[in-house]
Amino acid sequence: MSDVFTTRILNVTTGTDETVADLTHDCEQFLQQAARDRDGLLNIFVPHATAGIAILETGAGSDSDLLAALHTLLPADDRWQHRHGTPGHGRDHVLPALIPPHATLPVIAGRLELGTWQSVCLVDTNKDNPDRRVRLSFLG
């Protein structure tokens, strides 16, 4: 059984454009206080029906490539039955089926066990809701 369970809410403003927001630094800061050199698991969860959590490289074009791929897979047009908000908003409600609203990552000696080019990212295609909550939870 675990000795430690700690959780924190991040408030993230994504703006009015589709975005891939890098949360890696926020996760690392949280673990500095919560994990304190312990091994365990970090769970990242976004409690929204139109956003997801992805592990990917950022800054080298992969984040833009992801958004472009989502446009191909989930076009923002009038094909969606879910119709409210901006045109094509129904696609935003399908996003979490492709990019889940959660990720669980290993923490070793208090640090995220990510690959060299991996980052923890919030993926938000919903232009109608710029304010997001992200829950970080450490179990160790």
Q: For 74-84, what is each residue's pLDDT tens digit?
A: 998 989 898 88
The verdict on pTM exceeding 0.85 is: yes
What is the set of domains in the chain, with CATH numbers? 5-139 (2.60.120.460)
* Angle between helices 62-73 and 90-98 in degrees, nearest 10: 120
> pLDDT of 13-61, one tens digit each?
998 899 999 999 999 999 999 999 999 999 999 999 999 999 999 989 9
For 5, residues 6+ apart whose C-beta sits below 8 A from its C-beta are: 137, 138, 139
Phi, psi of 126 (to 5 degrees): -85, 105
30 contacts 111 by C-beta, under 8 angstroms:
no
